Structure 1
Amino acid sequence: MLNDAQRTSLRIVMSLIEEKMRDIEARLASPEEHGLMFDVCNDLAPDVEQALRLTVAEVYALISTLRDRLALPREVKPVSREILKGLSQLWVVLQESDSQRLRRYGDVDPALGASLDPEIEALARLMLELEHLAIGNVPPAKNGRDDKEDAAPCSKRANISAQST
């Protein structure tokens, strides 16, 4: 019924929808959050929360139906790839946030560079470090061990788990 490109396209769309539904479920399970730079407050009435849960369940049912009907494949997503999502964009945004580039919004206090730029550079460096760590480039000072033991790839771990059951 579908060629490979069509199947891949639909798998991606259904995965994006499922990921958003999982985000909604996680937020409903933990509606309050207090970060360093933001607070999320629960403004949902109980009936709205219940309606959201029921609608998310409907979405899951439709995705499941389409997956089965059209033989859409499941994707194995390594956690390293999930961690990498968005880090390079954060690096770019940080590059655009130093005192020189803030001039586009108006005059910049001459003292701002000394109090902002080193921390912006440090944050940008840490975004790159997170990328390197996620792909397995762990310097000895951060890995907490002397040996270089590699984790089994996701598919190999899945096979190991399947064999042990």
Structure 2
Amino acid sequence: MKLQIQPIGNSYSEQAIDLILNIQQKEFNIPITIKDQPDLLQIESFYTEAGGNFWGAFVDGELVGSIALVKFDERVGAIRKMFVKKEFRGKELNIAQELLEVLISFCRENGIDDLYLGTITVLKAAQRFYERNQFVKIEKGNLPVKFPLMSADDIFYHLNIA
């Protein structure tokens, strides 16, 4: 199995939607639909053109993971759409870690010093993952004013990478 991570655009929308909705709805029973995340239908305008990016992790040509960066202020970004298909999670392939490192490298190259993200209480493994990567839990009230809030999120993290 060979892992390949690359930026993806609108041509991958359908695969990304399939990957993400399956995890959100079927695995974790999160009541979220494509209507709640229209960004997935316009990856390029929402992420890339605004100064962020959207990456896909592929194993043998199959999209098995994703991570996205929304640049919402001059030197500030939000992590979105961090998902890895169940069968591909874990230390062996280390896909989540690889995705995060690609995003952080992009931030360093593009002058983004602060990263924020929101996640959901039931996603315990995600919280442990962010904490292992030095993200610090913060109160919702301490998020930057321009932070693009997702309605389902109830736990928030910050990482300074400067």
Under a length normalisation based on structure 1, what TM-score does the superposition of the two structures give? 0.20
Higher normalized helix content (fraction of residues)? 1
Structure 2 length normalisation: TM-score? 0.20
The structure richer in strand per residue is 2
Bigger radius of gyration among the two: 1
